[in-house]
Amino acid sequence: MYDDNPTIQHLVKTIDPMRQGEVLDYKAQSGADNGKRFYIESFGCQMNFSDSEIVAAVLHEAGYRSTLRMEEADLILVNTCSIREKAEDTVRKRLYVYNKVKKSKPGTLIGVLGCMAERMKRQLLEEEKLVDLVVGPDAYRDMPKLLDSAEEGHRAINVQLSREETYADISPVRLQSNGVTAFISIMRGCDNMCSFCVVPFTRGRERSRDPYSIIAETRDLYDNGYREVTLLGQNVDSYNWVHPETQETVTFARLLRMCAGVHPEMRIRFSTSHPKDMTDEVLYAMAEMDNICNYIHLPVQSGNNRILELMRRGYTREWYMERIEAIRRIIPDCAISSDIIAGFCTETEADHRETLDIIRRANFSMSYMFYYSERPNTFAQRNLQDNVPLEVKKRRLTEIIQLQNTLSLEHNKKDIGRQFEVLIEGDSKKSKAEFKGRNSQNKMVVFPKIPGLRPGDYVHVEITEASSATLRGHIIQNSAL
């Protein structure tokens, strides 16, 4: 179904529905087992995976336990993504699969969570009767109540968005975890209103989570063997928490330092940065603290100023390049990745060439690349014409992907002969005789195992081979930070 679009194919791999269900939970769960099982699939961004872990925590508290087998579930949940039309199409297809299972096991409940909930509620519940339960991203605490009412055969829906909900007090149940790396949501929603983006509508207003709950979660993860956390937000640079009474203020730069201070062996990553908001203070915090990884995901979207203006991104190509130069100056060994949209409304060939040009100049180590997909109710849908023909969008996207692949390969080839500290995450995909892990720059490194080492250990690896996606090498020294 995604055969025509290699980028989305790549994305589907990263949102593999097999990453589901199994709970590798390091804590005794409080709720007594009610005998019921839930099965959950997550699509879309890292934030959705993180949200599924909050949902799992709420369900555990209510007595549910997870299963990896859809067929034995009493409750089948799908955490959905609305960012592009194809993401929604994928979820719809899954709903038919779940309904087949339900036919052979009547009484099974099917629930849609996340970004599609608000958009599709009526259609899904009433017109197509595909689901029993619809829960928006700010309503997960309400799930036990909604489940009771769905079990009694009532419509169960809560898509209310909140200005306050951050789930700060909920300790996520880690789903399908490798026991080494974890996500922590530090904020929810987005106030940016980029003209192409549906997120502000599906996830609501931006709010920052209490930093002390973030630190506590980081420490708890460290105590339980985790060695890397990724702080998640739609725009982490606008993180800003103000204590309701003392007015103490915590910015993102300060939060980074606080998290990095938990333990020098706990790596800190974050995503996503916004070019209009990324400050030098953040860069200095990264430069000063060894355990904040040298990697920034800084989506450019387009290299043309007129298109950037139409996208309402709040920066120009010159501003973007100045931010790139600041990163190179302050953190010389930092890898930078990007998101790019091909064929936005009114984009000309000359505009497209400017996008290719900025990709080259910024020298991204990798990018997530998409062609524009018009989304209902966005500024672009209401005010601009989606007038670049699909074949043109696809051709431009292919050119962008080809260029990025070349750059990624060049970038990785420069690493041959270098030594990196790598955090072991587990066995490599292809062989049990090899480990995989990431270096600070977020590059996947594969190397032969040495007895005595295990996931969660840091090792030094010398790189001997490079492809556009992976580095290969061998361990030169077992190390601690």
Query: Which residues are near ligand SF4 by CB under 6 A?
Result: 190, 192-194, 197, 199-200, 234-235, 274
Question: In terms of CB distance, is 108 or 273 closer to ligand SF4?
Answer: 273
Which entry of ligand SF4, ligand 5AD, none binds 373, CB below 5 to 8 A by partner kind?
ligand 5AD
Compute the least distance from the CB of residue 198 to ligand 5AD, in Å: 7
Site for ligand 5AD in 179-238 (CB under 6 A): 196-197
What is the Cα–Cα distance from 271 to 119, expressed in whole angstroms?
25
Compute the least distance from the CB of residue 341 to ligand SF4, in Å: 9
Question: In terms of CB distance, is 16 or 85 closer to ligand 5AD?
Answer: 85
Question: In terms of CB distance, is 39 or 196 closer to ligand SF4?
Answer: 196
What is the Cα–Cα distance from 407 to 411, expressed in whole angstroms?
6
Confirm or reject binding of residue 83 to ligand 5AD (CB under 6 A). Answer: yes
Question: In terms of CB distance, is 296 or 424 closer to ligand 5AD?
Answer: 296
* Paired tokens of 409: 């390969």
Which entry of ligand SF4, ligand 5AD, none binds 372, CB below 5 to 8 A by partner kind?
ligand 5AD
Q: Are 124 and 112 in contact (CB under 8 A)?
A: yes
Q: Spell out a b/e string for 323-356, using b for 16 or more CB atoms within 10 Å of the CB, else e.
A: bbeebeebbeebbbbbebbbbbbebeeebbebbb
DSSP 52-69: HHHHHHHHHHTT-EE-S-
Compute the least distance from the CB of residue 421 to ligand 5AD, in Å: 29
The alpha carbons of the chain give a radius of gyration, in whole angstroms, of 22
What is the Cα–Cα distance from 27 to 409, expressed in whole angstroms?
42
**What sign does the dihedral 201-204-205-211 (CA atoms) show?**
negative
Compute the least distance from the CB of residue 301 to ligand SF4, in Å: 8
What is the Cα–Cα distance from 474 to 472, expressed in whole angstroms?
7
Which residues are bridge partners to 445 per DSSP? 437, 471
Site for ligand 5AD in 362-381 (CB under 6 A): 370, 372-373, 375
Question: In terms of CB distance, is 88 or 228 closer to ligand SF4?
Answer: 88
Which entry of ligand 5AD, ligand SF4, none binds 190, CB below 5 to 8 A by partner kind?
ligand SF4
Which entry of ligand SF4, ligand 5AD, none binds 370, CB below 5 to 8 A by partner kind?
ligand 5AD
Among 280, 281, 290, 339, binds ligand 5AD (CB under 6 A): 339
Q: Mask: binding to ligand 5AD, 84-113, rule CB under 6 A, as x and -?
A: x-----------------------------
Strand 444-448 relative to strand 434-438, pairing:
antiparallel
What is the Cα–Cα distance from 231 to 225, expressed in whole angstroms?
18
Which residues are bridge partners to 166 per DSSP? none
Tell me the H-state helices in 295-449.
305-310, 317-330, 349-362, 379-383, 390-413
Question: In terms of CB distance, is 218 or 373 closer to ligand 5AD?
Answer: 373
DSSP 438-463: E-TT--EEEEE--TT--TT-EEEEEE
Compute the least distance from the CB of residue 403 to ligand 5AD, in Å: 16
Site for ligand 5AD in 397-426 (CB under 6 A): none
Site for ligand 5AD in 122-181 (CB under 6 A): none
Burial class (CB in 10 A: 0-12, 13-18, 19+), 35: exposed
Question: In terms of CB distance, is 9 or 224 closer to ligand 5AD?
Answer: 9
Question: In terms of CB distance, is 58 or 197 closer to ligand 5AD?
Answer: 197
Site for ligand 5AD in 293-312 (CB under 6 A): 299, 301
Question: In terms of CB distance, is 342 or 461 closer to ligand SF4?
Answer: 342
Which entry of ligand SF4, ligand 5AD, none binds 83, CB below 5 to 8 A by partner kind?
ligand 5AD
Catalogue the long-range contacts made by 318-322 (C-beta closer than 8 Å, 24 or more residues apart). 319/275, 319/276, 320/275, 320/358, 320/362, 321/358, 321/361, 321/362
Interface with ligand 5AD (CB under 6 A): 83-84, 196-197, 299, 301, 339, 341, 370, 372-373, 375
